[in-house]
Amino acid sequence: MNKRLTLLSLINFVVIAGFSANSCTIDSANTQFFAPGPDSLPCIERTVYYDQSIQIAVPTTINLQDFGAPLSFILTVDSVVITGVNGLPNGITYAPNPSNGVLYGGKKGCAQVYGTTTDSAGHYPITFNGTFTAHGFPFPPFFDGDTTIDFATLQSLGQGMFDMFVDVINPGDPCRPSLGIGSFNSSLNTNIHIVPNPSNGIIGLSLDAGRRLNGEIAVLDMTGRKIFSQPIDAVGLYNTTINLSNYSKGLYTLQLRTAEGFASKSISIE
């Protein structure tokens, strides 16, 4: 058989089937919403080509209590649709499989994150474009029945399920120290609560530290610019009010950085 014709046939099959050199393979054994999670995702080295597969597993049900409802209330997940992402460093591409970004409840998919960036080293919070659709019995004011919620609203709730980020480092630097301010602390993240969210710019932050925490509370805009900062030195329960009413409507990232690691929450000003 003519090798050139064979190669052309293979290329045509790849194009027609919608595959590319940067397609990911779905792991049928994965059970995590994101795997690896942000706290264990390999860092992106500046000027070095990056190629990382992220597995996605959509649950069949969710509990509204995980999103701030006072009681346990189970909803059936219809679909998750991710049409794009914002916040990735320049030069880094997100390519989903399936390519339309549609995953139904109980189904699995993946995404390939790849490319080369020369952006500054730092922490890059990621926001999603898309929708989350679920159904169940009405549970006012948290749920009206069958509904579709956009991801901007879900991420602004700050409950952690849809929190995503990537870290960019200089070539040769350690990705994340095993201890210290450079490590994402999932326990710390779980104990942070922001209300109301979305807000008009006046938000309350509460933290059940359970021990002494010393560090910094900061708010970053979508470009990564720090627009607010205040020190924290707390033991046990901690509450504070943050005034962002002078800033434009949109999504922001609240970070808590301590010697035990950092936590990150999305906040929305409407």
Taking the domains of the chain in order of start, what are their residue ranges? Answer: 23-169, 186-269
| pLDDT at 9 (0 to 100) | 38
Nearest to 135 by CA among 73, 197, 82, 226: 73
Nearest to 201 by CA among 239, 230, 242, 170: 242
Least confident segment among 48-62, 149-163, 205-219: 149-163
Residues 252-270 have a mean pLDDT of 83
Query: How far from chain centre, in Å, is Cα 191?
Result: 17
Rounded Cα gap, residues 5 and 235, in angstroms: 71
Surface-to-core class of residue 60, CB atoms within 10 Å of its CB (0-12 exposed, 13-18 middle, 19+ buried): exposed
Residue 10 reports pLDDT greater than 50 = no
Length in residues, the chain = 270
Rounded Cα gap, residues 224 and 228, in angstroms: 12
Residue 106 reports pLDDT greater than 90 = yes
pLDDT band for position 214 (50/70/90)?
A: confident
DSSP 219-233: EE-TTS-EEEEEEEE
Tens digit of pLDDT for each residue in 112-131? Answer: 999 999 998 888 888 888 99
The reported pTM is: 0.59
CATH number for the segment(s) 186-269: 2.60.40.3080
Residue 17 reports pLDDT greater than 70 = no
Q: Is 18 left (phi over 0), alpha (psi -120 to 50) or beta?
A: left
23-169: CATH, from 3.30.1490, 1.25.40, 2.60.40, 3.30.70 = 2.60.40
Give the Cβ contact number of residue 123 at 10 Å: 18
Rounded Cα gap, residues 221 and 171, in angstroms: 26
Find the helix or strand (DSSP H, E) in which 164 lies. strand 164-169
Rounded Cα gap, residues 89 and 168, in angstroms: 8
Residue 24 reports pLDDT greater than 70 = yes
Q: Say which residue, 8 or 214, is predicted with more confidence.
A: 214
What's the CA angle centered on 220, arms 217 and 226, to 5 degrees?
Answer: 80
Tens digit of pLDDT for each residue in 158-174? Answer: 545 566 788 898 998 87
Q: Can you point out the beta strands (E) in 25-142?
A: 34-35, 44-45, 50-57, 61-63, 74-86, 92-97, 102-104, 108-115, 122-135
Least confident segment among 54-63, 80-89, 178-187, 215-224: 178-187
Residues 248-270 have a mean pLDDT of 83
Rounded Cα gap, residues 192 and 253, in angstroms: 13
Fold match flag (23-169 vs 186-269): yes
Nearest to 34 by CA among 91, 85, 90, 92: 85
